Structure 1
Amino acid sequence: MPLASSAASCVTSPPPTISQRVLNYSKHKEAPQGRNLLPWDSTETGNNANSTSLTLEDSGNLVYGDWQSFNHPTDTILPNQTMNGSKGTTFSQSKNGKFKLVDWKSLVFRSSSYWSTGNAFIMLEPTGMVTLETGATLISSDFGEENKLRRLTLDNDGNLRIYSFDRRANELSVVWLAVHETCTVHGTSGDNAICINDASNSDLTYCVCPPGFKLNASDHESYSCEMKTPWKNNGKTKFLRLDYVNFTGGSNQTDLKVENFSICQSKCLADQNCKGFGFKYDGKGYCMLQNCNRLAFGYWSPGTEIAFFLRVGSETDESNFTGMTSLFETVCDVTISLPELPDESNTEDRNIVIICTLFAAELTSGVVFFWGFLKKYIKYRDMARSFGLEFLPAGGPKRFTYAELKAATSNFSNPIGRGGFGDVYKGELADHRVVAVKCLKTVTGGDAEFWAEVTIIARMHHLNLVRLWGFCAEKGQRILVYEYVPNGSLDKYLFPASQGPSLDKIVEIYPRNTDVPKPILDWNIQYRIALGVARAIAYLHEECLEWVLHCDIKPENILLGDDFCPKISDRIGKAEEKGRHG
């Protein structure tokens, strides 16, 4: 195995402290007999004038003169290793030799292909992106993340995966794979067997024999099955229905388009070599005949949309692959006996009077209780309207008292911003949450407008919107309690410190040295900020229960969190609510 594959599978080792390692070996014109893989003799070393350097590069490529390991791929491909057309090599092979990536675009078991991209792989980029020959790309789930070591490997189970090693967490994980249903990989199950992928089982992938078959004990390489009672030509046979089962191989598999199910069945009965047929109940008449001596690459999956009808002899086995196409037996025998009628008595009139009296009493009490409930409801509804409580959804922002916010902000002694709508103070709640307390000076439109704005913000929950934790509305005070965003607004990072703020933005106050310039944001962070702001705007315009127009998107109203995650703020007095059908 070339050293490129070994290096890729050992990414847990710490990186070297220098750029490359160099070993000197005596060069021969031809590789010694029995050592035709590498063009050197490791038994002879020296430092004479004819020696050639054996170099292991940072990329994992082992170079010796004109020979390099990247031109001899095995089961593992490293970043920047060219795949398509490298020195005439057109495939990568798994360690067990069963599976190949032929022409760098098709996964093949023996001569049977079970996955293909249509475009040949060119190179695995260090960022986790695979480039294809037409310019198309495949992207891993951790694309672009730094401090990751990646490799593309054709594993022994026939699946092609991209592995990513996180050097900080010391963890190896799969970030891309070609085949999502393992059972569809050819060779997972043996002849006449069915592969099942079931998350409820401890072994996610396992094989079973279909009804009428038993395990082939003579096959020690794979899980294969054989008929319990082989049926002979012109013998009596029947079909067992296997829902969601498909056999995708066989040298003589025939795909037909027929008018109905009966025609597909009759064509299989007419051929003594037909082991079964598959049929789709989609109205298109898809019929697949298995005219071969074995059923290959069988698997169960609801995604197949196929019912396979297995041909067996005089077997008593019943199919357990019923899916949802069979009716369950839900009728059971129940014996019902009615009591005999009692003898007539003189107490009949008395019983009727008692029943009528009880009914009248229950009806009267029900009316009284309903009237009391209605009066209470009207009373509390009026109270709720007077305090604005009916606007708040269940689980919405908390209503704080003025005393609580006064204690949280140390009597409003730590201002962090001032603006046209009011002052902002930093505080800490009783549960140790750090918050920004915004004391509104005046609210346009009065209390009704204030409650309407609070209701709009309470309905919005998004990662890129500043979260409203609560509010205070007492003693003539109108206060909003937001989550605290530590890195301030975006304009401090985009514009010089000498540039004056706009008239309606919040002016941030920094208790320490205000002359220290903010760091310049690199393009990656600026891209993340722009993407987050776009997601927030899309949420306001398209995904809210009520459409909301912010009307004032600018750097001063975009706050940055610890990881520079953008959060849009300052929606009070600026947001405009639009109905879904308005």
Structure 2
Amino acid sequence: MRSILFLLITLSLLHSAISKSMLRLRKGASISVEGNTFIISPDNSFTCGFYAMPRSNAYWFSIWFTNSKDKTVVWTANRDKPVNSQRSKISIQRDGTMVLTDVDGSITWQTDKRAADVSAAELLNTGNLVLKNPQGNILWQSFDVPTDTLLPSQILTKDIRLLSSLRKGSFETGYFNLYFDSDNVLMLTSDSPETSSIYWPYPGVNIYENGRTNYNASRRAVLDDMGTFQSSDNFQANASDIGFGIKRRLTLDNDGNLRIYSLINSTGLWMITWQAISQPCQVHGVCGRYAICVYALKPKCICTPGFEVNNPSDWSAGCKPAFRESLLNSLVKFVEVSRTDYFGFDFDFKPNFTLEACREFCSGDSRCKAFTYKTWGAGSCYVKSELFNGLMSPDFPGSTYIKLPYRLHVSKPSFFNGSSTMCESREADILVGSPSMYDFTRTTVRWVYIYSFCGALGAIELIFIVVGWWFLFRKHGVPASVEAGYRMISSQFKRFSYDELKKGTNNFREELGRGGSGIVYKGVLADDRVVAVKRLGDVFQGQDEFWAEIRTIGKINHMNLVRMWGFCSEGRQRLLVYEYVDNLSLDKHLFHSNFLGWKQRFAVALGTAKGLAYLHDECLEWVIHCDVKPENILLDGELQPKIADFGLAKLSRRDGSGSDISNIRGTKGYMAPEWALNCPITAKVDVYSYGVVVLEMIKGIKLSNWAVDDTEDREIPLKSFVRIAKEKIQCGNSYWVDSIVDPRLEGRFSRNQAATLIEIGLSCVEENRNKRPMMASIVQTLMECEDETEI
């Protein structure tokens, strides 16, 4: 009996030595790092105490989620000064300060307020560590000094900022900040030792175009218990699983992105339910100096041509020149990096400048490291003194030309070559400067002859062109297409009167089509432009709201989006004026006898993806289409796709602000499961619809047919196709692609392109939206195989 009693006492003491929990740390008491004692919240959601990284002898005084699998830390007192694993302790002193001391007794951290009447430290159910007096009043709280995380009900004010960690698995303070700037706008900045810049909200436009306001000087932001994050500058975001009863956190991660995480109780793992930056390459500083961020299946960093990486394990350290910079004082050349821009460091800007003039200016200025040439209008030249924040985007309308020593050999890698992500570059091979006679080799002489020959051919060609144009204009006047083009350029987005459109459409006589949002009529404006006029139904909002939003949508411009030329809002009349697209919609060229060939189908898939990627990530106003289907993809004279009806979901929204859309809009068969589940709608609904369209282009038939016999439990065509396609892929049969692709093509298609499109389509129609890719990554994947030839 004595032995059993002794054993029970021993086990009890052993358990007590392993871990002890308390609800409060009283004044005069302490917790040592060896004692394994913790402060817990009353509901056991949070734990506070000494926290150690795996395989580390360093400890931090921290707060973490008790029930998360990795004990996720949300606050750290001494993030840059860890203490030793022996004789370090936290205590409440007589003057009311909470003090953390290291092994030698030195103070590593302490609270910034003294109050002699502090009675104890407690950890609240919110995750807030507080010092209270005997009356229960809070005298100090950890919510006032956050690290990289904001918890529900924790308020971010003008004097508080979140600071990211330096790297994954580290508490050390990093370079990314979330705070209210002096203009009252909540923003994300990269503040590295070399440079500081704002990257969210998008710095290329003003505050109001970003949907923010700087008039509210209260400067407050909070994540509430429902999963809504909103701030006083008119910003609002919703977690995709919005609702009560879920543990959440808002964290500024070490990659510079701000995210809302939701805890999955069954697994203890975290799920991303919202993020500020959908394209991580838009985060400044993520790749460092002389580096470029590019998109493959995920963002990667590469070095600018002529430069080499400093530290392959830390791309924030950037790249360094692979040459002596003194060589730039003599003979130089320029290497073009297409579709690439570098943010900031423009020491000169020259509008209406030719490419040659821009190159000459840069070559003659020792400050110039490169120049970016944008092909908008007559061309614009941005002269760079440094190269930071490089971004390669398929929709960037220009190139950057890197200034390099002439004799430096620069390889010409493919755009994306397997696992080694390299940028597409080509040498301009332009000699700039005055070479000495020793540099004048036979190679140079050969180039002189080649240039002379090409110049002669160019002169002859120019003569023919001039004569042809003279003859054309002299005999027939300016062609109608050219004249219309000039009118289109000079005509700005405008507000039409109802009588003007009624007359232009001949009293709405010729109907082009109709859908859930309204009826489309063909018309001709007073300046002879052929247009498509959409007459909207009665579900759209009031005149002032409609006018404000339609002006924003009118600024959206992309080659794969139908151009909006204007609108009408009079009384109950709401009309939109679009460019007229010649070749009708995709469904007319896919499900009928005049079907598209493979080359055209792939071009439609790529162009549609580019248009949606622009709407989701790159245009001034974040737009979810909500009704992507073949009927809303129009084909121009060259069978290039143009997406119609974008922005109508935004115009018809009547239930508050923010990115949440609750009104069901779309077409059965193309609608993502989120609609039926009444979940908040994100850009992933467009990804799902795009996937259905892609699979229909592959198969050549309607997979979105919802006509099911009531007396028979028949499988929906889309689900049947997805199931069969996945089975064929798993079987590994080399002919699985041929068995899936539209037989009307008679085998005339690229197997690699088809396999890529099938895999993309299947990933897009995943029921779990978190498994669906982003449109930007789809664009990049398709561009990698764009040049494949047909078989």
Structure with larger Rg: 1
TM-score normalised by the shorter chain: which range applies? 0.3 to 0.5
TM-score normalised to structure 2 length: 0.36
TM-score (norm 1): 0.47
Question: Greater helix share, 1 or 2?
Answer: 2
